[in-house]
Structure 1
Amino acid sequence: MDSTAPAPVIVVSGATGGMGSAVAEELARSGATVVLLGRDAARLERTRAGIDGRTGGVGRLVAYETDINSTASVDATVAAVVAGHGRVDGLVHAAGDGPLAPLDETTDDMWQTTFDGKLMGAVRLTRALTGPMTEAGGGSVVLVSGVFRKDPDPLFPVNSAVNAALAAFAKAVSKDLGRRGIRVNVLDPGAVRTPLWDEIAQAIGDRTGATADEVTAQVAAQTPLGTIADPADVARLAAFLLSPAALHVAGAAITLDGGASAGL
C-alpha cells in the first residue's frame, strides 16, 4: 500500500462468518480501515478483537451492528461510517446463505429469506455506498456468491437461483457504476472450509449415510486440485479485486473452486 495515501476504508458484510472474517483479516493486514457489519453486537466484537489480536493491531477495525435486511439500518450505518471515517472505498458483501433442500422440501420463507439477505442485501449496500464511493473518486464492490451460479445443484435450488440473480445484478450495475469509477465484480467460491461448510457436509452425510468428514473427503477427491478452499483463499482473491492490481477488472464473475465445477 502507498504509505503516502490514506488507508482505504472497506466495508465487509457478513463479517462474523467464516469467509467474511477471513476477508476482514486479510484487509486489516494490508493496513486498511475495515468496517465490520453484522447483526450480533457481541459476536461482532469478538470477531473484531480476534482479528486485532492476530494482526497485531495492523490496520483499523471498527464494528457496526447492522441489519442488511433493512434499508433504514443500512442507510444509517453508511451515514455513520462516512461521518466517522470521511470516505468509503470498497465493499465486500459476504453475507447470506441458503438451505440445503431440494425443491419439494423448500418453503416460501426459505426462498424469501435467502433472496432478501443475499441479493437484496447486496442491492441495499451497493446503492447506499455508491454516493460515498463516487465522492471518494471511485471504489470497488466484491459480491461473494458461489459456483451454483453457473453450475446449479438440485440440492440447492434456492442458492442456485439467488447466485444467478446476484451475478445478473452485478453485471447490470457494473455498466453504470463503472462510468463513476466503481468496479463491481462477483467472486464465486466452491466448497470452503468454514463452520457453514461443516453444517452442509453433515446435512449431506445425513442424506447419504456418510459422515461429514467422509463428505468433505469425497468433495476434495472430486476436485482436480485435490482439496477444498480455505477462507484465506477467498480473502486473498477478494483483496486482489479490491486493489489497484485489478483496476481493469469490472463486471466479471471469478470462480474459486479448484476446478471442480463443470460450468463454463
Structure 2
Amino acid sequence: METNAPVIAVSGATGGMGTAVVEELARSDATVALLGRDAARLERTRQLIDARTGGAGRLVTYETDINDAAAVDATVAGLVAELGRVDALVHTAGDGPLAPLAETTDEMWQATFNGKLMGAVRLTRAVAGPMAEAGGGSVVLVSGVFRKDPDPLFPVNSAVNAALATFAKAVSKDLGRSGIRVNVVDPGAVRTPLWDEIAKTLGDRTGATADEVTASVAAGTPLGTLAEPQDVARLVAFLLSPAARHIAGAAITLDGGASAGL
C-alpha cells in the first residue's frame, strides 16, 4: 500500500535512541518502518509509540537480522513493495563492549563490526537503489563520539565508529550524485537503558555507584548534563528534513561539548 507520507526505515527501533527516533518521526506524520530481530519487542514498541503519539504517523514492523545480507535485502524489497518506496534510512542498531584491549576477544570485535558497521553497509546498499530510482533520499547513521575522541575502555567502539564515519564520507560522494544524502550523528553519553548498564559496569570497576558515575560524567560536560534520547532524535529528524538539503558527508557531534577532539 503506497503512502504520500515520507517512508523512513529505522534499524535498532526497539533500543533507547531508536525508539526516540521512531517517536519523533511519527509525530511528523511520517510512515516509519521499525526494523529489529525480535518481533514481539517490535510490536510492543509500536504499540507504545502509537499510544504516546495518539496514532500520529503510521508505524509498521519488519523482523530482520542486519547481520544477514540476504535478510536485509529481502526486508527492504518487502518494505518497498508494501509501502511503495523508502525515502530515508536511520541506522541506530549496534553497540560494543566496555573492555580495554586486554579484555577484548575476537568475537567482540567481529560482532560489533558485523552489526554496527556491516549493518550500515548492508542497509545503505539495499536502500540506495530504490532511493535513486525515486530521485533521492537521506541516510543517517547513528555512531558515537569515540569516532573523534577514542577511549581506552572502548577500543572496539572507537574503531567501529571511526570506520562508520569513513564509510559515510566515502559513499556520500558516490550516492550524492543520485540525490542521496548520507550523514552521521555522533552522540556522547545518552541517558538510555544501555547507558545505565555502562554506568553500572564503570562503577563496578571503580567502586562507585551507577548514579555517581552518571553524575561525574554529567559534571565533566560543559553543559552539565547527559543527552536525552530525544536530543538525538531531533537532530536525526533535522538531518532528514528539507532544511538540511545541502548537508551531506557530515559527522555531527552531540555531546554537550564534552569531547576534546575537533
TM-score tier by shorter-chain length is over 0.9
184-193 or 5-14: bigger deviation: 5-14
Partner-residue secondary structure (3-state), 1:101: coil
Counterpart of 1:16, as a letter, is: T
Shift of 1:6: 2.0
Q: Which residue of 2 aligns with 1:46?
A: 44
Aligned with residue 19 of structure 1, among 4, 17, 20: 17
Following superposition of structure 1 onto structure 2, how do residues 244-255 of structure 1 map, counting pairs within 5 Å? 244-255=242-253
Counterpart selection for 2:254 from 233, 256, 259: 256
Residue pairs, 1:195-214, within 5 angstroms: 195-214=193-212
The answer to whether residue 242 in structure 2 is matched with residue 238 in structure 1 is no
Q: Deviations over 1:87-138 (max 9, x none)?
A: 1000000000000000000000000000000000000000000011112211
In 1: Cα distance, 2:226 partner to 2:150 partner? 18
Write the distance in 2 (CA, Å) between the matches of 1:23 and 1:136.
Answer: 24
Q: 2:187 maps to which residue?
A: 189
Q: Structure 2 unaligned runs (5+)? A: none
Matched, 1:136 2:134: yes
- In structure 1, the partner of 2:167 is 169
Aligned to 1:155: 153
Counterpart Cα distance in 1 of 2:82 and 2:261: 43
**How many Å separate the matches in 2 of 1:85 and 1:38?**
18
- 3-state SS in 2 of match to 1:61: strand
The aligned counterpart of 2:100 is: 102
Aligned pair partner of 1:6 in 4, 9, 13? 4
Deviations 1:8-60 (A, max 9, x none): 00000000000000000000000000000000000000000000000011100
Runs ≥4 residues deviating over 2 A = none
The residue aligned with 1:90 is 88
The one of 76, 79, 82 equivalent to 2:77 is 79
Structure 1: distance between partners of 2:127 and 2:211: 41
Give the partner amino acid of 2:249: G
Following TM superposition, by how much is the alpha carbon of 1:224 offset from its aligned partner in structure 2, in angstroms?
0.3
Matches of 1:206 and 1:234 in 2, distance apart? 28
The match for 2:227 among 229, 236, 243 is 229
Count of residues in correspondence between the two structures: 260
Pick from 55, 66, 69 the counterpart of residue 68 of structure 1: 66
Letter in 1 for 2:60: V
Letter of the structure 2 residue corresponding to residue 189 of structure 1: P
| Superposed CA offset, 1:190-238 (max 9, x none) | 0000000000000000001100000000000000000000000000000
SS of aligned partner of 1:226 = coil
1:30 equivalenced with 2:28 (yes/no): yes
TM-score normalized with structure 1 length: 0.98
Helix, strand or coil for the counterpart of 1:34?
Answer: strand
CA distance in 1 between counterparts of 2:24 and 2:30 reads: 9
Q: How large is the Cα RMSD of the aligned pairs?
A: 0.7
Does 1:127 find its partner at 2:125? yes
Corresponding letter in the other structure for 2:138:
S
Between the aligned partners of 1:212 and 1:140, the Cα distance in structure 2 is 37
| Runs of at least 5 residues in structure 1 that lack an aligned partner in the other structure | none
User: Secondary structure of 1:28's partner?
Assistant: helix
